[in-house]
Amino acid sequence: MNLPKTFVRRPVTTVMVFLGLFIVGLFALVQLPIDFFPEIEPPIVSVLTSYPGASAQDVEQNVTKIIEASLGTVSELKKITSTSMDNVSVVTLEFEWGTNLDEASNNVRDALEFAKRSLPSESEKPMIFKFSTSWFPVMFLSATAEENYPGLNKLIEQKIADPLKRVPGVGTVMMFGGPIRQIQINIDPKKLEAYNLNIQRIGQVLQAENITLPAGSIKMDRMEYNIRVPGEFKDANQIENIVVAKSPTGSGLVYLKDVAEIRDTLKERTINVRLNGGKGLQLIVQKQSGANTVSVASAVKKELEKLKKDLPSDVTLEQIFDGSTFIVNSINNLSEAIILGGFFVSLVVLVFLRQWKATFIIILTIPFSLIVAFIFLYITKNTINIISLSSLSIAIGMVVDDAIVILENITRHVERGARPREASVFGATEVGLAVTAATLTIVAVFLPLTFLTGIAGIMFKQLGYLVTIMILTSLFASLTLIPMLSSRWLKSKKEEMQTRKRFQKFYDKSEQLFIKLEEFYAKTLNYALNHRKLVLISGALIFIIIVGSFPFLGKGTEFMPKSDESQIQIYVELQTGYNLDETINTAKQVEAIIQKEAPEISFMAVRAGVNDQGFSAALFGQKEGLHMFNVQTRLKRKHERQRSVFEIADTLRNKLKPIPGITQLTILTSSTMFGSTKPFAIDIIGHDLAATSQLAYQIKEIVKNTPGTRDVDISRSQERAELQVILNRDKLATIGLNTATVASAIRNSFYGLTPTKYREAGDEYDIFIRYDLKFRRTISELENIPINTMSGQIVKLKDIAKIVEQFSPPDIQRKNQERVVSVTANTEGRSLGDVTNDVKAAISKLEIPAGITLEYSGQIEQQQETFKDLLLFMILGVILVYIVMASQFESFLDPFIIMFSVPFSFVGVFIALLITGFTFSVIAFLGAVLLIGIVVKNAIVLVDYINITRARGFELREAIIISGKNRLRPVLMTTITTLLGMLPLALSTGEGSETWNPLGISVIGGLTVSTLITLIFVPVIYSLFRKKLWTKQVD
């Protein structure tokens, strides 16, 4: 079918087709949700098994090893890691990206069925957790209060947390660090002993007294009365007057207050939350799996506005972190970049054509081509994210290219005297094939992006599909809409002669400039053709010098460019064994320093200690303990502050390091997107705990001394001191005791006992008995715990057991079924690739004991994988482009000549990165790969025309110069539109811009250099090859 003919003859149909496309596109655009990245579901499944009472080493031997062995054969498994801690084993399975996780977790379940038989009987059933991005919190909220502080927990739960859970898309709302009321009974063991009592006995008494029992009914005459025994405590003060025993002397009663201090107070906390330096609690809102962060966050915010009104005036609720802000701001910035890009493109077209109507016709292809991208996103249930918007930004300058070539040919016919109607059909048909071929070379580069696997695949698949679709749409529009509009709007030569007069002067003047430019180019080309050797040698030299010096001058390689997300997270670990009070004291010091050193921080929340709810941190691969705390901060927006988040983080690092007691300080500036791995990680694999730990400390020193590293850490926790009570079983047996009774006696005294609950106004509060704090401070208190024997005698613990101090590792990590210690670090100021190389060099001097191997993981692993993927993809791109060109030219040689412009695009990329100081990241690499398709387009246009001119009978040299002059304008026009289309992408400085800056920079650099080279270098090579071929043929 002849597209231009069909559509020019049917203008109404044409308008309707494109109007329809536009309306459907608008509909899709309005409906599309917004997100930061395309949907990434990390292919991770965790198996959690608890084995109560076992030490880390026991758990490793009896649970973790067995589970690992049985799961090792699950299909598509990439990596298996585990952490064995006291009581808990966590085995994490990492699958290949793109694995169907439902299927994978079924396989895991099946494999676990086999493993269960070999697990110890005391261990609990293994649980399977699918890792999901919905675990990343959508929002952190904090609540602080003055008078209402003691009741804050209940208040917030009822007024805020519960209603928020009902908001659509909200998964869970968790609360941390709020005060919880508790009735504490603090026992004085001396007095207890004096009255021959023990904690269990007191527990039983309280349980027996705090009871309300319906006791039947009684019938009297016509009435029936219910009988009740209302013994439940009505007042907390009642408790202290409970009789716990008769006095041993027989003269009186022993009340609870005689042996203990009773306090109606707040629960002793294992977690403490401080907000902007004051007391408070923290709320975390998580979304349901599959829900959209931005829409959930906005729904939550709306609901919060309503809920806030019900709070007492002293209670304030603040947002610490809103997961949607960064996303929304980034998307807005990128959208601005696209609109600006579109404006620049239009301006370029106008300058070159200097005709309103023609310019307008060409620019119309932009909205139509771009809107189709939204239809695609909508149909495939994708989101508007930075990858899809970057695709738009890349495409915006390229979608006009086809239209430019077609319109140029149509105008040529019109100027020769054809009527616009006919000229539109023939003009479009004549160059239709050439335009299609040029478009296919672009498609040949972008479409293979959709074949990429792994994380690169997730990131760039969308880019591949979108650019392909937009470019194909622009081709369609160029063959239908452009000829149709030209046939209607262009003026024939006759009409033109009458109306153009007004602008004639301006037109002629500017035309002079273009002609001068063409003359200059012809002269340069002539010179180059006379000095072919000079051109070749200098070309080769430029290539060698730039590419050769880049590894030394450049900023190195990196996975993803770091972006300023206006937040800093600080993780602090103190000496193991520090208690919460001590941790909080240090946290207060840290707070003070942060407030002084970083006024840019607008909000700060500190969380210290362990979360009551247990193991969530272990699943995330984080460490938790009473001696640790973390600080989350929110900074002012990027344009409202002078220093970047990285500079602030560095200042804080230097200021916080000298605080005594801090053994580990980690400062993060990004919400870790891809797992919790730090950029740099070395895995030390070996069975011997002592030897690997020692090596880990050596390597830690090396990494620390390598410039550019920060927050160096070792994954294995420091060995922890513990007191072990070793019972003498012979003695136990003779006095009729067993391990369980002794252990529970110790537990009741030191950990405590909750025998019953106190009820007030419908709420329940724990009544908690244990030794008073002052009796829980020395080993001798432990030794003197009285234990009742069966015969009613009392023995001291020291009579039946000895207490020894032991050291044991609190956790053991494994990777691919072998023990591993990781040394991890963040990087700052230097690229990951450089740091890794330096560390490698230093480590090679170390003597590594037998049986220990080293592996580099962390982002360097992902980086190498992705770089390898992109390299393969680049080769595939080059081959495909060659295939398209070879068939277009029906020649093996011409595409080869054209390919000479490709290496120079890399030269341009390197120069641009050197000038701007960006690292060679995956994003910059991607830009370099995309350039293959973009840069050959120029060379195709030029070589194609030289071929045509030659075939029309011109001598080689003349043909080259004529074609050069003739094609200079189209080449410059399409190149400058692409360049300026991406300029805002390269220059934008808003939130998130660091991620896409390198893409724009590398494409602009590569395209500029390769275009300049193409215009000189390619014709020279052409003349060289063709001349040889000719002389051969003549011979």
Tokens representing residue 721 in the block: 């001191």
Q: Which region among 66-74, 423-431, 564-572, 626-634 touches other proteins (by CB under 8 A)? A: 423-431
Q: Which of 27, 136, 195, 426 binds other proteins (CB under 8 A)?
A: 426
CA dist 389 and 408 (Å) reads 30
Q: With respect to other proteins, which residue has the nearer C-beta, 88 or 425?
A: 425
| Structural tokens at position 881 | 């482009």
Tell the smallest beta-carbon distance from residue 493 to other proteins (Å): 7
User: Judged by CB under 8 A, which of 119, 431, 665, 878 binds other proteins?
Assistant: 431
Q: Checking DSSP bridges between strand 88-95 and strand 260-266, what pairing results, if any?
A: unpaired
Select from 109-117, 413-421, 523-531, 1020-1028 the region that touches other proteins (CB under 8 A): 413-421
Q: Which of 384, 396, 423, 898 binds other proteins (CB under 8 A)?
A: 423
> Helices 501-530 and 532-553 sit at what angle, rounded to 10 degrees?
90
Residues 441 and 472 sit within 8 Å (Cβ to Cβ): no
Residue-wise burial string across 337-369, b where 16 or more C-beta atoms lie within 10 A, e elsewhere: bbebbbebbbebbbebbebeebbebbbbbbbbb
Q: SS3 for 835?
A: helix
Element spanning 181, H or E? strand 181-187
Cβ neighbour number for residue 810 with a 10 Å cutoff: 18
Closest CA to 238 of 214, 213, 255, 259: 255
Nearer to other proteins, 110 or 495 (CB): 495
CB of 418 to other proteins, least distance (A): 3
Number of residues that this document lists for the chain: 1035
Whole-number minimum distance, CB 443 to other proteins, in Å? 20
Stretch of residues binding other proteins (CB under 8 A), selected from 68-76, 415-423, 524-532, 628-636: 415-423
* Beta-bridge partner residues of 662: 574
Find where tokens 């495409």 sit.
395
- Residues 987 to 1006 in contact with other proteins, rule: CB under 8 A: none
The span of 348-356, 361-369, 425-433, 663-671 binding other proteins (CB under 8 A) equals: 425-433
Residues linked to residue 664 through DSSP beta bridges, in sequence order: 573
Q: Which residue has the tokens 């003779």?
A: 734
Of the candidates 61, 646, 567, the one whose C-alpha atom is nearest the C-alpha of residue 325 is 567
Could you tell me the sign of the dihedral formed by the alpha carbons of 174, 175, 177, 183, in that order?
negative
Stretch that binds other proteins, among 414-422, 601-609, 625-633, 831-839 (CB under 8 A): 414-422
> Does residue 915 bind other proteins (CB under 8 A)?
no
Please, what is the minimum distance in Å from the beta carbon of residue 956 to other proteins? 16
Closest approach, Cβ 482 to other proteins, in A, equals: 17
Least distance from C-beta 517 to other proteins, angstroms?
Answer: 25
Phi-psi region of 556 (alpha: psi -120 to 50; beta: other; left: phi over 0): left
Binding mask 950-969 for other proteins (x = CB under 8 A): -xx-----------------
* Options 79, 116, 279, 421; binder of other proteins; rule CB under 8 A: 421
Minimum distance from CB of 496 to other proteins (Å)? 12
Number of residues that bind other proteins (CB under 8 A): 20
Measured from the CB atom, is 353 or 425 closer to other proteins?
425
Question: 730 or 955: whose CB is closer to other proteins?
Answer: 955
Are 979 and 344 in contact, with CB atoms under 8 Å apart? no
CA dihedral 75, 79, 80, 82 (to 10 degrees): -160
d(CA 138, CA 52): 33
**DSSP sequence for 405-430:** HHHHHHHHHHHTT--HHHHHHHHHHH
- CB-based burial, 967-999: b 16+ in 10 Å, e otherwise: bbbbbbbbbbbbbbbbbbbbebebbbbbbbbbb
If one asks whether residue 419 binds other proteins (CB under 8 A), the answer comes out as yes
* CA separation for the pair 520, 155 (Å, rounded): 79
Site membership for other proteins, residue 1 (CB under 8 A)? no
CB of 342 to other proteins, least distance (A): 32
Q: Which is nearer to other proteins, 426 or 646 (CB)?
A: 426
Q: How far is the CB of 1030 from other proteins (least distance, A)?
A: 18
Least distance from other proteins to the Cβ atom of residue 416, Å? 4
The yes or no reply on residue 413 touching other proteins (CB under 8 A) is: yes
Contacts to other proteins from residues 579-618, by CB under 8 A: none
Closest CB to other proteins among 253 and 433?
433
720 interacts with other proteins by CB under 8 A: no
d(CA 367, CA 350): 17
Instruction: Based on the shown chain and the rule CB under 8 A, indicate whether residue 418 belongs to the binding site for other proteins.
Output: yes
Site string for other proteins, 461-500 (x = CB under 8 A): --------------------------------xx------
Element (H, E) at 950: helix 922-951
Q: Which helix (H) or strand (E) element contains residue 944?
A: helix 922-951
Helix (H, G, I), strand (E, B) or coil at 806: strand
**Nearest residue (CB) to other proteins, 811 versus 944:** 944
- Provide Rg for the chain, Cα atoms: 37
Q: Smallest distance, Å, CB 366 to other proteins?
A: 27
Q: How far is the CB of 836 from other proteins (least distance, A)?
A: 52
Q: Which residues pair with 814 in a beta bridge?
A: 82, 819
Residue (205 or 418) nearer to other proteins, CB: 418
Binding mask of the shown chain, residues 214 to 233, with x at each position contacting other proteins by CB under 8 A: --------------------
Coil, helix or strand at residue 218: strand
Question: x-or-dash pattern for other proteins, window 928-947, by CB under 8 A?
Answer: -------------------x
β-strand pairing of 212-220 with 628-635: unpaired
Half-sphere exposure of residue 782: CA atoms within 13 angstroms, side-chain side: 16
What tokens does 603 get? 């909000």
CB nearer other proteins, residue 388 or residue 947:
947
Per CB under 8 A, which region of 293-301, 422-430, 819-827, 924-932 contacts other proteins?
422-430
Q: Quick check: 478 and 406 in contact, CB under 8 A?
A: yes
Whether residue 971 contacts residue 1015, with contact meaning beta carbons closer than 8 Å, is answered with yes
Tell me how far, at minimum, the Cβ of 98 lies from other proteins, in Å. 43
Which of 422, 496, 766, 772 binds other proteins (CB under 8 A)? It is 422
Query: Judged by CB, which is closer to other proteins: 433, or 723?
Result: 433
Residue 407 beta carbon to other proteins: minimum distance, rounded to whole angstroms: 16
Closest CA to 177 of 280, 278, 95, 92: 280
Nearest distance in Å: CB 902, other proteins: 24
Question: Given the rule CB under 8 A, which of 44-52, 362-370, 420-428, 588-596 is the region that contacts other proteins?
Answer: 420-428
From candidates 72, 248, 277, 417, binder to other proteins by CB under 8 A: 417
Helix (H, G, I), strand (E, B) or coil at 674: coil
Question: Using CA of residue 6, residue 12, residue 13, residue 19, what is the dihedral sign?
Answer: positive
Nearest CB to other proteins, comparing residues 117 and 952: 952
Nearest to 604, CA basis, from 612, 594, 614, 613: 594
Question: Contacting other proteins (CB under 8 A), which of 948, 962, 987, 1024?
Answer: 948
| Residue closer to other proteins, measured from CB, 488 or 493 | 493
Residue from the set 124, 430, 647, 688 that interacts with other proteins by CB under 8 A? 430
Nearer to other proteins, 431 or 604 (CB): 431
The CB-of-952 to other proteins minimum distance in angstroms stands at: 6
| Closest by Cα among 131, 50, 53 to 89 | 50
Q: Could you tell me the two tokens for 573?
A: 């670990």
Binding site for other proteins (CB under 8 A): 413, 416-419, 421-423, 425-426, 430-431, 433-434, 493-494, 947-948, 951-952
